[in-house]
Chain A
Amino acid sequence: MKPIYKLLSLAVCLMIIIDVQNAFAQKSKDKPADTTKKEQPAKPEEDAATPDMKVTTPDPNAFYADKAVYTFDILNPSNKPQDGKVSYQVFSETGQKLNFDSLKVNVDKKANKKYTFEIPEAKPGFYKVNLMMNITDDDDTARRVFGIRPEQIRSPYKKPVDFEMFWQTAKDELAKVKPSFKTTFIKDSLNRKIYAIEMQSLGNMTIRGWMTIPKAGGKNRKFPVWVGLPGYQVNLTPIMADDDNLAIITLNVRGQGNSRGPIDTRRDEYICYHIENKDNYVMRGAIMDCVRCIDYVFSRSDLRHDDVFVTGGSMGGFLSMATAALDKRVTICSAQNPIFSDVRNLIGEVDWPMSDIIKYAKTRPGLTMDKVLNNMDYFDVKNFATDITCSTLMGIGLLDPLAPPNNEYAAYNNLSGKKRIMVFKDLGHEVNQVFATLEARWMMDTFALF
């Protein structure tokens, strides 16, 4: 082969390999924002270069069998040798101090040096670790989370024995409510028709949302359905995707967005609304609103009933998993950072929502936290997870302060269907574009929308 063709072939191969590696990496390119640095006094111009550190861990997800590995790379561009130490302090998710170790540091001027720690932890779970550098001209701390055999994480708290019965009762109540579906054409966008949708749900409450349908295709075309469920106190609006394959429904559950009505709370009160009674708790109705939305999908002849995708983040992730557990008409489910997983273990691990719930319990006469937790067992994602049989994709951030990885894995490990989890070791209560891309491709593949 002539050299020019060889070069072209090589260039093509390289471009493909680079992209494959990016696709496999499943890690955020975002730089962790959890590094604290001691303020340095102003220095003379000739010595402006200050030492710095980089902390790396070999596993892309920071998952290990029994020893986490972290390497400090100390960069000293200054004209002064740097002495001091590097150390780590491990904490449980509830902040209990565990392992600690340190190493003496001596880095020559204009030199780099690496120090590696192997951090032993025997018990499966996620651990917070502070990685600290204290040297002549710099103090720095990086906060990370690592996992030890996360696939073995199990919640010690059992699912209520009447969990399924509780939800069957709720569904039976819902079935007695005449849905009275309404679909109102709003307007055309460039490639979609926009509709307002409305339905009656549990307690005869009016629930609203939006649907956009591609203009492309004939009258007989049936569209797979993407159902987007809302985060906490989020007002979902119509989604105008540049896509002609999917009908997109966005639902505002009771007390949120344009479904505010009898339930119109202040933002921080919503999570506690009637939590003292599991039969009246706002989430019972909200979950039933999602099931009613699936009823809506099945009421329409222009939607494909065997291709229903539910997805959401945070509270939307919670609603997605609950809906998939309770309604087997859901084909696939995606949940990003679902809240309310392994609820009893959230106490001491997270601030919100437990702080608001504890505060609420204290203000209600006769209400104990035990009673609240007993109720919340019926709204725990890890308990819903055992009833999910459809393919499920989860995305979590190891630094998530609202949905910590221990709790998320307690749910993930309970999933009995086909499942996949994407872990972002440097992200908090969010996922990134890598997840969004994979989620979309997974859905398109499942629905054969090639």
Chain B
Amino acid sequence: MTLTRMMIKYLLVAVMLFAIMQNKSYGGGLPVRPGSLTISPSVLYFFADKGWDSLSHKSPFAQNGKYTSISYSIFAQYGISKRFALVVSLPYVISNYTQIGYQSHSSGLTDLETGIKYYLANINYTYYFSLQGTLITPLYTDLNLGYAEPGSELKLSFAGSGKVVGRNYFFNVDEAVRQYYGNQGPVQDRYSATFGLSLDRRFKNQVIFSVGGEYSTSSFTTVSANQALNKNFSFNQATFSFGHAFTRSISVFVSAGTFISGRNTGDGSSASISLNLRPFRGI
């Protein structure tokens, strides 16, 4: 494997993380009804054939390199009480990298995330704050799938809804700090901001715009030939989604996203589809 090829693969670590994290925008700051269960299976396709280096200079992958991944995820959220909710997500990822004379393939379950969300406070019962603590448990050893290190995350969310230009809207802002407990971290700052606008009276059809990103830092500051140690990168991405509710218990979301900026990461685009099922409405 040439050094170039190795470098490109390292850049894809962040891409992989992005592909996994993109399905985590559910829940957010709104409290969860006790006894209610939300299950959301999703599929995300990601493609990248160029990337940003450590100076954020963008260039195509060498040797006509292409990275694709398909991530199958399941997300579940259960309201334990008025204040507490259990949040679980589990992705299964299939990734491929090809370039002239080289190809690699990885697949498997990645990081199981198990969290407890706590409804902190509200402003006028319109704007809500919640805090979520999450444990990250790697279910793999293949370093092409992630750090293979346990970690934890603390996330503060702010969400609300209202009316603007005669239409119902919702918004959600997440800010999270994640720490992996392996050698030299990394510590990551993860954020997302989402704004959704109903196209009708009750969010039967809606459009959603979101921006998000990660800033990953570690005392290990250079792009290493050892991909497991490549822990310094950042990216910002934008996603546009359309959602349709078939019933109050079944809805579907179709999304398209693209990276806006980055450092030590691939520059890619994504498409995803997810179902949102509420088999139990709760109390």
* Residues of A contacting B204 in the complex (Cβ-Cβ under 8 angstroms): none
| CA A15 to CA B30, docked complex, whole Å | 19
Give the size range of A's interface with the partner.
20 to 34
| CA A244 to CA B247, docked complex, whole Å | 13
B82 contacts the other chain (Cβ, under 8 Å)? yes
Whether A1 contacts B260 by the Cβ 8 Å rule is: yes
| CA A448 to CA B80, docked complex, whole Å | 11
Chain B 58-95: CB-based contact to A (< 8 A → 1; otherwise 0): 00000000000000000000010110000000000000
B92 to chain A, nearest CB (A): 30
| CA A8 to CA B207, docked complex, whole Å | 14
| CA A445 to CA B236, docked complex, whole Å | 34
Whether B125 contacts A12 by the Cβ 8 Å rule is: no
* Residues of A contacting B164 in the complex (Cβ-Cβ under 8 angstroms): 15, 18-19
| CA A130 to CA B162, docked complex, whole Å | 37
* Residues of A contacting B169 in the complex (Cβ-Cβ under 8 angstroms): 15
Whether B260 contacts A441 by the Cβ 8 Å rule is: no
Q: Which of B82, B124, B171, B283 contacts A16 (CB 8 A)?
A: B171
Number of interface residues of B (CB under 8 A): 31
| CA A402 to CA B33, docked complex, whole Å | 40
Whether A19 contacts B31 by the Cβ 8 Å rule is: no
Whether B248 contacts A244 by the Cβ 8 Å rule is: yes
Whether B124 contacts A24 by the Cβ 8 Å rule is: yes
Closest to A420 in B: B124
Given contacts A12-B171, A448-B33, A448-B283, is CB(A5)–CB(B238) below 8 Å? Answer: yes
Closest to B201 in A: A242
B281 contacts the other chain (Cβ, under 8 Å)? yes
Closest to B83 in A: A448
Whether B248 contacts A1 by the Cβ 8 Å rule is: no
Closest to A26 in B: B124
| CA A216 to CA B126, docked complex, whole Å | 25
A96 contacts the other chain (Cβ, under 8 Å)? no
B253 contacts the other chain (Cβ, under 8 Å)? no
Whether B195 contacts A23 by the Cβ 8 Å rule is: no
| CA A288 to CA B30, docked complex, whole Å | 39
A20 contacts the other chain (Cβ, under 8 Å)? yes
Whether A450 contacts B248 by the Cβ 8 Å rule is: no
A215 to chain B, nearest CB (A): 12
CB within 8 Å of A: which B9-23 residues = none
Closest to B281 in A: A217
Whether B260 contacts A448 by the Cβ 8 Å rule is: no
A9 contacts the other chain (Cβ, under 8 Å)? yes
Chain A 204-227: CB-based contact to B (< 8 A → 1; otherwise 0): 000000000000110000100000
Whether B127 contacts A304 by the Cβ 8 Å rule is: no
CB within 8 Å of B: which A252-307 residues = 304
Chain B 257-272: CB-based contact to A (< 8 A → 1; otherwise 0): 0001100000000000
* Residues of A contacting B146 in the complex (Cβ-Cβ under 8 angstroms): none
A65 contacts the other chain (Cβ, under 8 Å)? no
* Residues of A contacting B127 in the complex (Cβ-Cβ under 8 angstroms): 20, 23
Whether A20 contacts B123 by the Cβ 8 Å rule is: yes
| CA A1 to CA B259, docked complex, whole Å | 11
Closest to B127 in A: A20
Highest count of chain B CB atoms <10 Å: which of A8, A16, A18 = A16
B160 contacts the other chain (Cβ, under 8 Å)? yes
Given contacts A12-B193, A15-B169, A438-B125, is CB(A23)–CB(B162) below 8 Å? Answer: yes
CB within 8 Å of A: which B132-180 residues = 160, 162-164, 169, 171
Closest to A244 in B: B248
* Residues of A contacting B124 in the complex (Cβ-Cβ under 8 angstroms): 23-24, 438, 441
* Residues of A contacting B193 in the complex (Cβ-Cβ under 8 angstroms): 9, 12
* Residues of B contacting A16 in the complex (Cβ-Cβ under 8 angstroms): 160, 171
B39 contacts the other chain (Cβ, under 8 Å)? no
Whether B31 contacts A450 by the Cβ 8 Å rule is: yes
B211 contacts the other chain (Cβ, under 8 Å)? yes
A98 contacts the other chain (Cβ, under 8 Å)? no
| CA A9 to CA B33, docked complex, whole Å | 30
Closest to A16 in B: B171
B122 contacts the other chain (Cβ, under 8 Å)? yes
* Residues of B contacting A31 in the complex (Cβ-Cβ under 8 angstroms): none
B187 contacts the other chain (Cβ, under 8 Å)? no
Whether A449 contacts B171 by the Cβ 8 Å rule is: no
CB within 8 Å of B: which A1-48 residues = 1-2, 5, 8-9, 12, 15-16, 18-20, 23-24
Q: Which of B125, B160, B171, B211 contacts A445 (CB 8 A)?
A: B125
A166 contacts the other chain (Cβ, under 8 Å)? no
CB within 8 Å of B: which A391-450 residues = 438, 441-442, 444-445, 448-450
* Residues of A contacting B211 in the complex (Cβ-Cβ under 8 angstroms): 5, 9
* Residues of B contacting A12 in the complex (Cβ-Cβ under 8 angstroms): 171, 193, 195, 209
Q: Which of B33, B209, B238 contacts A450 (CB 8 A)?
A: B33
B229 contacts the other chain (Cβ, under 8 Å)? no
| CA A19 to CA B126, docked complex, whole Å | 10
A sample of 16 cross-chain residue pairs with beta-carbon separation below 8 angstroms, ordered by A number, consists of A1-B236, A5-B238, A5-B260, A15-B169, A19-B160, A19-B164, A23-B123, A23-B124, A23-B127, A216-B281, A222-B283, A304-B283, A445-B122, A448-B31, A448-B33, A450-B79
Q: Spell out A's residues near B (CB within 8 Å).
A: 1-2, 5, 8-9, 12, 15-16, 18-20, 23-24, 216-217, 222, 244, 304, 438, 441-442, 444-445, 448-450
Q: Spell out B's residues near A (CB within 8 Å).
A: 30-34, 79, 81-82, 122-127, 160, 162-164, 169, 171, 193, 195, 209, 211, 236, 238, 248, 260-261, 281, 283
Given A5-B211, A20-B123; 15 other pairs, CB 8 A cutoff: A1-B236, A2-B260, A2-B261, A5-B238, A12-B195, A15-B169, A16-B160, A20-B127, A23-B123, A24-B123, A438-B124, A448-B79, A448-B82, A449-B33, A450-B33
